[in-house]
Chain A
């Protein structure tokens, strides 16, 4: 069964450093999402891509966060500089644009970021 891949699984970084996360969605899924999940809370959307285009980044702190999906396949989320409050689980999800499962989102295992 196809899965969403994310790396690294765990990342520890010092504040003010740069950090990057990678996501490879399920093949053929045009829509890709990055969510942030703070401990004890539900995931919250950071950015949504349709193919290579950003369709919603209204909740992305653009002064320090950036995201790209250059070829419309895999995606990178970057934080520079990292702050203590960025410690969280970063989840990537993908979904097909059409078909019976168009409304389901398939999640990767996440990257747990700890900023010290």
Chain B
């Protein structure tokens, strides 16, 4: 069964500094990987996805993520953090070896705090 690990419960970064939120995955085949962001009392907002192709994926709000098959990782990055980036970030995986539109399996989330 597929799974996702987000090893950090909390990441603190100063405004203007680069940020990284880590994610590793386990899936039987080639994964479909996603990042979502959640603001307080809100649903999840899609940031970016990796399906195939270029390992560096660019998404919304200046975020990007790098797919690394050998390390089974899909870390989320941003060159310069903003205070407004402070939120809860979820990595998710879908195993495409299953037919149909299968649900996402989410990590437990990482809380990002950007300090002015």
Contacts and interface: CB of A to CB of B under 8 A. Distances in A.
Contacts of A106: 46
A115 B107 CA distance: 25
Interface string B16-56: 00000000000000001010100001111110010100000
Interface in A47-75: 48, 50, 55-56
Interface residues of B, number: 23
Interface in A6-55: 6, 9, 30-31, 33, 35, 40-45, 48, 50, 55
Interface residues of A, number: 31
A50 B101 contact: yes
A90 to B, nearest CB: 10
Given A50-B100, A103-B49, A103-B51, A110 B42 contact: yes
B43 A42 contact: no
Interface of A: 4, 6, 9, 30-31, 33, 35, 40-45, 48, 50, 55-56, 91, 93, 95, 97, 102-110, 112
Interface of B: 4, 32, 34, 36, 41-46, 49, 51, 90, 92, 94, 100-101, 103-104, 106-109
